[in-house]
Amino acid sequence: MPSMTAKPILQYGNLAGWPFKLAEGLKAIGHPSLNVIPEDSDFADLKRRLPFHEAISRPGVPRLLKAAQRFRFLLDIPKKFSLVHYHASHLLRGNVHHLFEGRYLQQHNVPMIVSFAGSDARNLAKANARNPYFFRSPNPAHDAAIDRYLTSISRHIRFAATDCEMAEYIAPYFERVFTFRQLVTLSEIHSSKPRDDRPPVFLHVPTDTEVKGTSHILAAVARLRGEGHVFEFRTTRQLTQTELYRAIEDCDVYVDELRCGSHGVTAVEAMAAGKATVTFIRPDLIDKYPPELPIVNANPDTIYQVLKRLISEPDFRIQKSLEGRSYVEKYHASAVVAREMLDVYQQIGLK
């Protein structure tokens, strides 16, 4: 087991809280790791209060000072950290990463690996060709910018770690792409026995209503209510991570997203809570997930039928609820993912 006095692995970025959970998972198995974020702020207007260890800048810091703080932090990385795992974020500008940041870390023999959020690496032409429900129209200028970005960072970052959907966009740029599953800290999420003593409670918490297909979900809910089906539907946006966990624990079905084509971390959190979880998995990607995947698959054309089944067939709803927690324990628990990623780190040069 590595010594906890060794230099820590840097988890840089605040992608949906994953970097913090990975750092904590690594520490739990005996390897030091630290999650540092660029600035103590959240995506758009959200206030999720995602955990992290350190922030380089505070909100409101002038742009030039912020750049100077990041530059100073970058210069200290070789003496403070053993490896850099970028999580959809870079210290300086990603599309010129090769000019200094990547070159500097490579010259100092710091292994690097990068993970992506989606919009930072997804080719829209390919996404639309593979997914008729995708939420953004083709945009050649966007795709050209993505190509410049991936070309830049891959000059010195030879490895990437991401999910099966993102892998197809980035594979041409990297020497190797590893699987990196979303991870959860199981002790933070209470799993309860599925309930059949009340009408089912559905929950939808969209960070981005366009991405999540919220209008299609609301239309299906309105149609079901108009037909007299008995259920409760809850939706909200502004929740902290702790509040989100409590809201998920109090529902029976979590309805996540209908347009991306792969599941996100909130779907994993909902499964961890023992909830039937609805999201859209592209048909061509299903075989790339573990065979036990208990997601209830739905898209904008099928969401009405899927919600209706979950209301009218409690045995089906309960079965999916029970399957979720065991699936997450096997594939997404922070200790499981941390061990997998430590093996990846060692393969790419961690000593």
Q: pLDDT tens across 209-264, in order? A: 998 999 999 999 999 999 999 999 999 877 888 899 999 999 999 999 999 999 99
Q: In terms of domains, do 79 and 157 share one?
A: yes
> Which of 139, 145, 170 minimizes the C-alpha distance to 93?
145
The separation between CA 45 and the C-alpha centre of its own chain, rounded to angstroms, equals 18
111-123 per-position pLDDT tens digit: 999 999 877 899 9
Shared-domain flag, residues 196 and 285: yes
With a pLDDT cut of 90, the percent of the chain lying above it is 82
What pLDDT score was predicted for residue 350?
A: 95
**How far apart are the C-alpha atoms of 125 and 324, rounded to whole Å?**
33
**In which element (H, E) is residue 160 found?**
strand 159-162
pTM (predicted TM-score) = 0.90
Residue 130 and residue 77 in one domain: yes
Cβ proximity of 297 and 331 under 8 Å:
no
- How far is residue 14 CA from its own chain's centroid? 10
Least confident of 2-16, 21-35, 260-274, 286-300: 2-16
Q: Is residue 2 part of a domain?
A: no
**338 and 240, same structural domain?**
no
- pLDDT for residue 239: 82
Backbone angles phi, psi at 49, to 5 degrees: 55, 50
Q: Is residue 16 domain-shared with residue 163, that is, in the same domain?
A: yes
Count the helix, strand and coil residues of the chain and give each as a percent rounded to the nearest 5. 45, 15, 40
- Split at pLDDT 50, 70, 90, the class of 275 is very high
Range of the domain at 313: 186-331
Q: What is the mean pLDDT of residues 154-175?
A: 96
* CATH number, position 19: 3.40.50.2000
Q: Is residue 157 within 8 Å of residue 177, measured between CB atoms?
A: no
What is residue 41's predicted lDDT score, i.e. its pLDDT? 64
179: β partners: 162
